Amino acid sequence: MSTVSIPAYRSSSREWRERLLFLLLVGPNLILLAAFTFWPMLYNAYLSLISWNFLSPTRRFVGLRNYESVLSSGIFRIVLTNTAIFTIVSVVLTMLLGLGLALLLNRPLRWRDGARAILFTPTVLSGAAIAIVWIYIFDPRFGLLAQILGWFGIGSPAWLSDPNWAMSAIIIVYVWKNLGYAVVIYLAGLQAIDRTLYEAAEIDGAGAWAQFRHVTVPGLSPILFFLLVTSILACFQAFDIIAVMTDGGPVNATNTLVYHLYERGFVQSQAGPAGVVAMVMFVLMLILTVLQLRLVERRVHYS
Amino acid sequence: MALEQDISIVRTGSGAVASARRMALIWRVLGYLAIMLSVVIIGLPIYWMLIASFKISREIYTAPPSWVPLAPTLENYPNAWNSAPFARYYINSIIVTLATTVSKMTLAVLTAYALVFLRFPGKNTVFLIILAALMVPAQITIVPNFLTMGELGFVNTYWGLILPGAATAFGTFLMRQYFMTLPHEIFEAAEIDGAGHMRRLWEIAVPLAMPALVTTGLFAVVSEWNDFLWPLIITSTDDMRTLPIGVFRLLDQEGFANWGVVMAGTMYVVLPVILLFIWAQRYIVEGIASGAVKG
């Protein structure tokens, strides 16, 4: 139809005008992405190879020495361990609690949509503001949590000033903030599972557990993987809650990769080590993203 | 004999139905318990912020704390407003959020239209380049972008706050996927009627893609309003700070000495988003959910 209606008089000048229009429409977006997303990655690679304090006019090329010193430093090992603990515990808790809640909510219950909205609310609120509210809640003397623990005869730990408890406090806030997101995603996934599969399983005499094991889990597996990757990536990028609640402390107990990058760059003014941390983060996240893309590709092929 | 068998079948059948019904009832009760428990746990900190913002300072520093303000007061709100330049923070947050959101929506629509409806050699490569930007999180660009802003003279300015977030790979992706589902016949008919690309873009593509555009816009508003790391770095004076940075400064100032005032300050930050969320809850939640299911 269109090949017939676009006659031969279409001149090459018209074709060039279309190409020009393409460049005009795509150009601004592409230039901004190039300047503030792609260029910074090259810049990070460059920074990671020099010794510079941001102010001095001399930048000394030091090769891979920044990598050596950062990767072998005690603080970096602590930061990596903290990031791993924070990520694994937060992700596992969010995904398990979220799955449990979503399974319980996945039936026609009154107020379910309202509950889903309330559960989702913390996700859209400012992490900085929420962190401040939680500092108050964690207050060992006048805080809400101290009172609730008191009902059970448990004394409140000094959550944020005790290196043994600070990470737990951060994880609690993080799980609280992101649980609703997981529930929403799980519910969408559960509702996408074909109901007739459950009916068939029931006719075959499958109990609740067998139905969960053989219908729900396989049907939910793409969602489980999506949630796993996006949650891990989100944990890697967590900054506001940590910066406001603990400043990475006490004694580095909550210092994670993004916070460490901020610290190296903007507190200690070490361009080289900051570049190294950024490169390490990029590689770790790239691996995760590629894993996710591979999965999306596979799903597209199968469906 | 045959009759007895029939009866026994009916009996076990009805027994199974009864037990299935009982199970369904138990699951429903558990479902309601889960709703109540989770709403209490998730809602309590928000409730706590709200009531603390109405408490006088003497009441806040009594243990155990009260669950309902004994002498509710509004004075924390003007006190917070006066102890930090909140009016200025609001103006800055609104300017930065609006400018970034409008820019993201416009660029997403323009780029996606070109990628779907215009012919250009190697346009799939262009799309892949844009997708690649999704792999670079903003957090790891902070040091280079700060240096770039320094060279441009944009440190501690609106340009500095807005520019790094003005483009969008995610929004472009979302809009492109949506444009591809639109029926091509409408655009061909408009072309035959002599409508140029700009008219087809604004009068057909944009109105038809409204749901995806609204989702893009809402995500941008929420993430810009709450953004913390970049504004923390790029602003250095009170007259350029946005709300999340402002309330962080308020905590430093009043902090542990005056929780009522600090909680009123956090209410200033979260209240606009809560109102937006109540109004647009369906779009945001459905947008998130459908994005995940479709991958």
Mean pLDDT over B263-274 rounds to 93
Distance CA A100, CA A95 (A): 9
Yes or no, beta carbons of A125 and B274 under 8 Å apart? yes
Could you tell me if B149 and B286 lie in one domain? Answer: yes
Chain A residues within an 8 Å CB radius of B277: 117, 121, 124
**Phi and psi dihedrals of A51, rounded to 5?**
-110, 120
Domain count, chain B: 2
CA distances from A292 to A229, A300, B176, B254 (A): 7, 12, 20, 45
> Tell me, what's the pLDDT at B1?
43
Q: Which domains does chain A have, with CATH numbers?
A: 2-47 (no CATH), 70-302 (1.10.3720.10)
pLDDT for the residue A33: 96
Chain A positions touching B170 (Cβ under 8 A) are none
Residue B255 banded pLDDT, cuts 50, 70, 90: low
pLDDT given for residue A115 in this prediction:
87
Q: Give me the residue label for tokens 């790094």.
A: B164
Domain match, B100 and B12 both: no
CA dihedral A62, A68, A70, A74 (to 10 degrees): -140
pLDDT of residue A29: 96
Contact A135/B at CB under 8 A: yes
Spatial contact of B215 and B174, defined as CB atoms under 8 Å apart: yes
In terms of domains, do B141 and B285 share one?
A: yes
Nearest chain B residue to A33, by CA: B167
The pLDDT of residue A106 is above 90 = no
Question: Looking at residue A4, what is its pLDDT?
Answer: 47
Question: A137 and B46: CB-CB below 8 Å?
Answer: no
Taking the C-alpha atoms of residue B39 and residue B144, their distance in angstroms, rounded to an integer, is 42
B186-227 residue pLDDT tens: 888 888 888 888 888 888 899 998 888 988 899 899 999 999
pLDDT for the residue numbered B165: 93
- φ, ψ of residue A60 in degrees (nearest 5): -95, 130
Contact B144 A105 (CB under 8 A): no
- Mean pLDDT, all residues of chain A: 88
Instruction: Determine contact: A85 vs chain B, CB below 8 A.
Output: no
Same domain, B37 and B103: no
- Token digits of residue A68: 């050596």
Together in a domain, B47 and B191? no
Q: Which residues of A touch B61 (CB under 8 A)?
A: 142
pLDDT at A214 over 90: no
Q: What is the CATH number of the domain that holds B165?
A: 1.10.3720.10
Q: For residue B294, give how far its alpha carbon lies from the nearest alpha carbon of chain A (Å).
A: 9
Q: How many other CB atoms sit within 10 Å of the CB of residue A27?
A: 14
Number of CB pairs < 8 Å for A and B?
299
For testing the chain B interface, which of A16, A25, A161 should be mutated: the one with the most B CBs within 10 Å? Answer: A25
Residue B196 lies in a domain: yes
Please check whether residue A113 is in contact with residue B285, taking contact to mean a CB–CB distance below 8 angstroms.
Answer: no
Q: Is the CB of A261 less than 8 angstroms away from the CB of B107?
A: no
- Using the predicted structure, report yes or no on whether residue A292 has a pLDDT greater than 80: no
Using pLDDT thresholds of 50, 70 and 90, give the confidence band for residue A229. Answer: confident
pLDDT band with cut points at 50, 70 and 90 for residue A298: low
- Minimum Cα–Cα distance from A137: chain B residue: B45
- Rounded distance between C-alpha atoms, residue A99 and residue A85, angstroms: 21
Model pLDDT, residue B98: 96
| Tokens 């990598």 -> residue | A67
Which residues pair with residue A60 across a beta bridge? Answer: A51
**Tokens found for residue B270:** 């979260």
Contact A262 B142 (CB under 8 A): yes
**A48 backbone dihedrals φ, ψ, rounded to 5°:** -65, -15
User: A48: closest CA among A60, A32, A64?
Assistant: A64
Residue B282 predicted with pLDDT over 90:
no
A226 contacts chain B (CB < 8 A): yes
- Tell me the per-residue pLDDT of B20-60, one tens digit each, with 9 for 90 and over: 788 788 888 888 898 899 899 999 999 999 999 998 888 88
CB A31 within 8 A of CB A46: no
Report chain B residues whose CB lies below 8 A from the CB of A33. 129-130, 133, 167, 169
Contact: B273, A141; criterion CB under 8 Å? no
Indicate if B39 and B147 belong to the same structural domain. Answer: no
Residues of chain A with C-beta less than 8 angstroms from the C-beta of B26: none
- Determine phi and psi for B161, rounding to 5 degrees: -70, -40
Residue B276 lies in a domain: yes
pLDDT digits (tens, 9 = 90+) for A4-54: 444 445 567 888 888 999 999 999 999 999 999 999 999 999 999 999 988
Is residue B290 over pLDDT 80?
Answer: no
Q: Which pLDDT score is estimated for A90?
A: 96
Residue A274 corresponds to which tokens in the numbers above?
């900051």
List Cα–Cα distances, A57 to A60, A276, B121, B145, in angstroms: 10, 21, 44, 19
Q: E-strand spans in A6-105?
A: 50-51, 60-61
Residue A300 has pLDDT above 60, yes or no: no
Residue B148 in any domain: the answer is: yes
Percent of chain A with pLDDT over 70: 94
What's the pLDDT at B236? 93
Q: Do A37 and B44 touch (CB under 8 A)?
A: no
Instruction: Output B189-196 pairs: Cβ under 8 A, ≥24 positions apart.
Output: B192/A5
Residue B65 placed within a domain: no
In angstroms, the Cα distances linking A258 to A274, A291, B59, B179 are: 10, 22, 38, 36
Q: Is residue B57 part of a domain?
A: no
The confidence band for A249, taking pLDDT boundaries of 50, 70 and 90, is confident
In a domain, B275, yes or no: yes
In a domain, B68, yes or no: no
Pick left, alpha or beta for residue B227 (phi over 0 → left; psi -120 to 50 → alpha; otherwise beta).
Answer: beta
Domain that holds residue B95: 76-294
B213 shares its domain with B115 = yes
Answer yes or no: do B105 and B249 share one domain: yes
B107-162 per-position pLDDT tens digit: 999 999 999 999 899 899 999 999 989 888 899 999 999 999 999 999 999 999 99
Whether B228 and A184 lie within 8 Å, measured CB to CB: no
Q: What values do phi and psi take at B124, rounded to 5?
A: -65, -35
Could you tell me if B65 and B55 are in contact, meaning their C-beta atoms sit under 8 angstroms apart? no
Domain assignment of residue B64, yes or no? no
Does B24 share its domain with B93? no
Residues B147 and B289 in one domain: yes
Cα A22 from chain centroid (whole Å): 34
Residues B232 and B136 reside in one and the same domain: yes
Question: Do B260 and B172 have their domain in common?
Answer: yes
Among A78-87, A271-280, A292-301, B144-153, the range scoring the smallest mean pLDDT is: A292-301
How confident is the model over A124-177, as pLDDT tens digits? 999 999 999 999 999 988 888 988 998 998 888 889 999 999 999 999 999 999
Please determine, for the modelled complex, whether the ipTM score is greater than 0.85: yes
Comparing CA positions, the residue from A219, A211, A111 lying closest to residue B34 is A111
Q: Between these two residues, B250 and A296, which has the higher pLDDT value?
A: B250
Task: For chain B, say whether A262 makes contact (Cβ under 8 Å).
Answer: yes
How far is the alpha carbon of A38 from chain B, nearest alpha carbon, in Å?
A: 7
Torsions phi, psi for B90 (to 5 deg): -60, -50
